[in-house]
Amino acid sequence: MKTTIRLLRSLLVSAVMFISHVAVVQATEDEDAGEMKKARLMAKPWLMRSLEIGGVNLFFSPASLIAVLLLLVQIIYSFVATSQWCEASHILVKDTSPKTKKAMDGMVKDIGSNYRKFGDLAAKYSQCPSKVNNGDLGRFPQGAMAPPFDKLCFDKNSKEGTTLGPIQTQFGYHLIYIRKRKL
């Protein structure tokens, strides 16, 4: 979400810069030709260049080229960074005693691949705020969760549509149900 907001903000800034630049170019072309045009060309900084495309002169500077390149890198990064994602739900129990682990092992066998049952148990037993949504964590990229949780979610050997765990993190024991993912 933050990447999308940064991308939109960058696009908006670039659009404003481009529109203001085009307005300045059009205003200067409307002025008297001849001596004034020569004087402007002489006063233009050496680092301004122009590129003619389809009869239209586009002026650019090294700073504007750097800004465009940075924008392109950010766009490419936003697609590459979100190439791996997972949609999952979980049940969190903060108690890390052996008794809790044994009870969660029993829950795994009881739930199996029944997502509705998983959601009901998450709403009843989970100690995470996501329990109001039946444990739904939504879609998250790789690296967004605690390392053991993340490793299990993005392991190609972890089956989708089944209950996985229990897995221990610094928050407690988790049961995880992976609905969808892109690896």
Taking 50 as the pLDDT cut, the residues of the chain under it are none
Name residue 9's beta-bridge partners. none
Distance CA 85, CA 75 (A): 18
Give residue for tokens 């392109």.
Answer: 72
Q: Under a CB-based contact definition with an 8 Å cutoff, are residues 167 and 174 in contact? A: yes
Chain-centre distance for alpha carbon 11: 16
Query: Given this model, what pLDDT does residue 41 score?
Result: 66
What does the pLDDT read at residue 39? 72
User: What is the length of the chain?
Assistant: 183
Helix or strand holding residue 52 (H, E): strand 49-53
Architecture category of domain 85-182 in CATH: Roll (3.10)
Instruction: Give 3-state DSSP helix, strand, coil % of the chain, rounded to 5.
Output: 50, 25, 25
Secondary structure (3-state) at 139: strand
Query: What is the per-residue pLDDT for 119?
Result: 95
Token pair of 53 as six digits:
């495309």
